[in-house]
Chain A
Amino acid sequence: MAARTLMGDSLGFHIMFALLGVGLPFLMSIFELIGIWRKDADFYRAARGLSFAVATLFVTGAISGTIISFQMNLLWPHFMEFASPIIGLPFALEGFAFLIEALFLGIYLYSWDRLPKWIHWLCSIPVWLASFSSAFLITTVNGWMNTPQGFTLNADGTVSNINPWAALWNPAAPHEILHSVLAYYLTTCFALAAVYAWQLHRRHIRLDAAQSGYYKKLTVFLLAFSLALATAVGLAGDENGKFIAQNEPIKFAAAESVYITGPYTPLIFGGYVVPAKDNPQIHYALTFPKVLSWLAFGNSSAVVRGLDAFNPAHWPPLFVHYFLNIMIVIGVYLGFVPSLFLLLWWRKKTWAFSRPMLWLIILGCPLAFAAVECGWMLTEIGRQPFIIKDIMTTAQAATDNQSVFAFAWIFPSLYMILFALTWWILHAHYRKPKDFGAIQK
């Protein structure tokens, strides 16, 4: 239990900084590209301004990632002993991705005024490619945990015929990677848009034409981009759901609260789960007849396997249903807000930057992070009691070292301090008054 708690704390903290570490370099590169190509001083300034945030968040993401690397080995030694020969390659490659990202981030930050603009922009490409690669590789490992392949499991529990490349290109990986990375970009867009929306809230910025023009321009861009991303995330999520229905049916059944196998399975949304092993139920849910069969298999008469088709000892916790629903509701919100904003901006620009609209944008930031956390909790908890699906349970993988309990409160406390300090640093840096007159000239 202590191992699960510690790992959950570490991953929950790390994902917040890691996703910004994936999204911010990408946005920074786009801003700089637009700034140079269109000779737009505002975008160029925004790219330069983002550098500090990227560097600071890289530090925090790096240390939390380092902790997770060690905790994987310390808390789950039996998992690492089993899995490292099979799926260890992405871990090694991720180390190189991190190294390249760190090197080029150093080059990028160090050479703002030392390299020609286009060369400097080219240096941003390895940064976001490397951060994307890190997300790609780590998610590949998670995909393998959900759809293990690339080895033969012998009767005595040993493995043979190991193929690390087949393990790396496992079936779940592309679906998980597409959905999660797009979600990281979407969350980052909303986080930045929320910051700019907050700035537009401030009276002295609203009264300053240069500053308000700067933030408005970037907000429009980010929300337009967010709309495209939200659409893509939704489509990728649907595709991921279809994959899970086929390949991880027990996770699918738990997430969708399908307790009875049969055709014409309804979509169940919301509700209150009663997780009784002999007779699980869900109350007060919205039910849409035949929709789940159609969504999962493209055919309203398709049979969806319910939890009754599986051994109850292998059911994941049924509250994963909530994670799925929360994620979907937030996803709809993240598509609705940019749509509303762009409609208002098209028809009546002043309404687009009204206080209620700005608050809707600001609210999108914590919700987007919450959606990512829910998605990962669905993925991980939905696979329980297994750490490697159908092969190794989480209990089998965990360490029996009793000193884990002693550290169960230390790391969460340190994460809180780190989070608060990072927030303080970024807030203090970006709160400083900026000379918009100079950049406008």
Chain B
Amino acid sequence: MPLIAYSILLAFIVLYAVLSSIEFGAALFLVSPWKMVERDRIERYMGPVWEFTNVFLIFALVCTAMFFPRAVPLLAQLYAVVSTALVFFVVRVIGILGILYKRSAHGAFRALFAIGSAGAPLSLSSVYLYAISGQQLAWPPQPLAVALWCAVLSAIVFIAASFFVHFAPKSAQRAALETTHTFAGAALLLSAAFFSAAASTFLRPDFGGFLLLTFFVACAFLWRPQKPLPALLASAAAVATLIISIAVRHAPYLLYPTLTLDTALTSPESFRAMLTMIPVGLIVSIPAVALLWKLFAGAQK
């Protein structure tokens, strides 16, 4: 039971990380000096879908509270960090409202969108750091935190560049995105290696996971020119591999070293109720996703 609950939680974290990386990356590209992505591109390619990526963050939170209720009081100690993330989310939404809904070209909205999109994942990753290391979050940040932040930013840029390369027109933007994708992939590998080394005191080494990560990054590089969609999926798989690898090494702890998956688990009745509803919810949602993708893909032709 604990492993099933942990797996479901992890699935939502991975989904959120991959999908939201596209939005976060778009914000960073929008303020880049190379103008890799313009507002109309973001609106056209992300417009119908960006609003629901936050759902997976909510699912991750609900799964944590429902499957592992004993973790909640301990996580509440991170109030300042999570609230900082929420502030960044609001700042980001202010930017989005201005850019996509007000259609303002004012640089302030782009700046807010970018600041929020950078700050939110970095703050949330600090929660993840606390969960896996049990360390008090210090300022100035320790090497472990810096490594994780580098990995997060690299992952965001890596996936977002891969997405917009797939959908960008053949222009100078494409070249800039491909270069960015390459550097982001290299940065992801380096920061993942650095993170593993820094976390070796409480995370078991996982050479297999690192090899798999390298494999997917290589696939993304090699497939990029001719097979943009598989390259995008390979980029996503690389980031998913990184998250899952850390989570596997982190087990059986939920919050190191205080709480394990077994001790934090909810009652069997609640577990069964949640397990029943998740597939039902997915059965209703998946056709909707398919229809939205069909409309979205049809509009691009």
Task: List A residues 222-266 near B (Cβ within 8 Å).
Answer: none
**In angstroms, how far is the closest chain A Cβ from the Cβ of B69?**
4
Task: List B residues 264-300 near A (Cβ within 8 Å).
Answer: 266-267, 269-270, 273-274, 277-278, 281, 284-285, 288-289, 291-292, 295-296, 298-299
Task: List A residues 385-433 near B (Cβ within 8 Å).
Answer: 399, 401, 403-404, 406-407, 410-411, 414, 417-418, 421-422, 424-425, 428-429
Tally of chain A residues near chain B (CB < 8 A):
67
Q: State the CA gap A56–B291 with chains docked (Å).
A: 22
Q: Contact: A55 with B101, CB < 8 Å? A: yes
Residue of A63, A69, A82 with most partner-chain B CB within 10 A: A63
**In angstroms, how far is the closest chain A Cβ from the Cβ of B250?**
20
Interfacial chain A residues near B291, Cβ < 8 Å:
107
Interfacial chain A residues near B79, Cβ < 8 Å:
74-75, 399, 401, 403-404, 407
Q: Contact: B69 with A67, CB < 8 Å? A: no
Q: Contact: A85 with B87, CB < 8 Å? A: no
- Asked if A286 is an interface residue, CB under 8 A from chain B, the answer is no
- Asked if A99 is an interface residue, CB under 8 A from chain B, the answer is yes
Interfacial chain B residues near A67, Cβ < 8 Å:
86, 89-90
| Interface mask (B193-207 → A, CB under 8 Å = 1, otherwise 0) | 000000000000000
Task: Please tell me which stretch of A28-36, A39-47, A108-116 contacts chain B, meaning at least 4 of its Cβ atoms lie within 8 angstroms of it.
Answer: A108-116
- Asked if B138 is an interface residue, CB under 8 A from chain A, the answer is no
Residues A100 and B101 in contact in the complex (CB < 8 Å), given A63-B93, A74-B83, A88-B65: no
Task: Please tell me which stretch of A157-165, A337-345, A363-371 contacts chain B, meaning at least 4 of its Cβ atoms lie within 8 angstroms of it.
Answer: A157-165
Task: List A residues 75-123 near B (Cβ within 8 Å).
Answer: 75, 77-78, 80-82, 84-86, 88-89, 91-93, 95-96, 98-100, 102-107, 109-111, 114-115
Q: State the CA gap A310–B83 with chains docked (Å).
A: 39
- Asked if A66 is an interface residue, CB under 8 A from chain B, the answer is yes
Task: List B residues 137-166 near A (Cβ within 8 Å).
Answer: none
Task: List B residues 24-60 near A (Cβ within 8 Å).
Answer: 47-49, 51-52, 54-55, 57-59
Tally of chain B residues near chain A (CB < 8 A):
59
Q: Contact: A85 with B51, CB < 8 Å? A: no
Interfacial chain B residues near A165, Cβ < 8 Å:
273
Q: Contact: A102 with B51, CB < 8 Å? A: yes
Q: State the CA gap A96–B274 with chains docked (Å).
A: 12
Interfacial chain B residues near A60, Cβ < 8 Å:
93, 97
- Asked if A70 is an interface residue, CB under 8 A from chain B, the answer is yes
At the interface, is chain B mostly helix, strand, loop or mixed? helix
Contact of B55 among A98, A111, A164 (CB under 8 A): A98
- Asked if B168 is an interface residue, CB under 8 A from chain A, the answer is no
Task: Please tell me which stretch of B70-78, B174-182, B225-233, B240-248 contacts chain A, meaning at least 4 of its Cβ atoms lie within 8 angstroms of it.
Answer: B70-78
Q: Contact: B48 with A92, CB < 8 Å? A: no
Q: State the CA gap A255–B80 with chains docked (Å).
A: 37
Identity of the chain A residue whose Cβ is nearest the Cβ of B57 in the assembled complex: A66
Contact of A89 among B49, B82, B96, B273 (CB under 8 A): B273
Q: State the CA gap A164–B299 with chains docked (Å).
A: 43
Identity of the chain B residue whose Cβ is nearest the Cβ of A96 in the assembled complex: B281
- Asked if A360 is an interface residue, CB under 8 A from chain B, the answer is no
Residues A84 and B66 in contact in the complex (CB < 8 Å), given A107-B295, A410-B87: yes
Q: Contact: B267 with A73, CB < 8 Å? A: no
**In angstroms, how far is the closest chain A Cβ from the Cβ of B23?**
13
Contact of A106 among B48, B80, B267 (CB under 8 A): B48
Q: Contact: A403 with B80, CB < 8 Å? A: yes
**In angstroms, how far is the closest chain A Cβ from the Cβ of B28?**
20
Q: Contact: B96 with A59, CB < 8 Å? A: yes
**In angstroms, how far is the closest chain A Cβ from the Cβ of B126?**
14
Residue of B91, B292, B296 with most partner-chain A CB within 10 A: B292
Interfacial chain B residues near A399, Cβ < 8 Å:
76, 79
Q: Contact: A103 with B292, CB < 8 Å? A: yes
Q: Contact: A428 with B102, CB < 8 Å? A: yes
- Asked if B121 is an interface residue, CB under 8 A from chain A, the answer is no
- Asked if A375 is an interface residue, CB under 8 A from chain B, the answer is no
Residues A99 and B51 in contact in the complex (CB < 8 Å), given A74-B82, A422-B97: no
Q: Contact: B66 with A99, CB < 8 Å? A: no
Identity of the chain A residue whose Cβ is nearest the Cβ of B95 in the assembled complex: A421
**In angstroms, how far is the closest chain B Cβ from the Cβ of A313?**
26
Residues A56 and B97 in contact in the complex (CB < 8 Å), given A73-B61, A88-B66, A428-B102: yes
**In angstroms, how far is the closest chain A Cβ from the Cβ of B193?**
32
Contact of B69 among A84, A89, A417 (CB under 8 A): A84
| A-to-B contact residues, CB < 8 Å | 52, 55-56, 58-60, 62-63, 66-67, 69-70, 73-75, 77-78, 80-82, 84-86, 88-89, 91-93, 95-96, 98-100, 102-107, 109-111, 114-115, 126, 159, 162-165, 399, 401, 403-404, 406-407, 410-411, 414, 417-418, 421-422, 424-425, 428-429
Q: A69-B62, A92-B277, A99-B52 are in contact. List 16 more A-B contacts (CB 8 A).
A: A52-B101, A60-B97, A81-B70, A88-B69, A92-B63, A92-B66, A92-B274, A96-B285, A99-B285, A100-B288, A107-B292, A110-B299, A406-B80, A414-B90, A424-B102, A425-B98
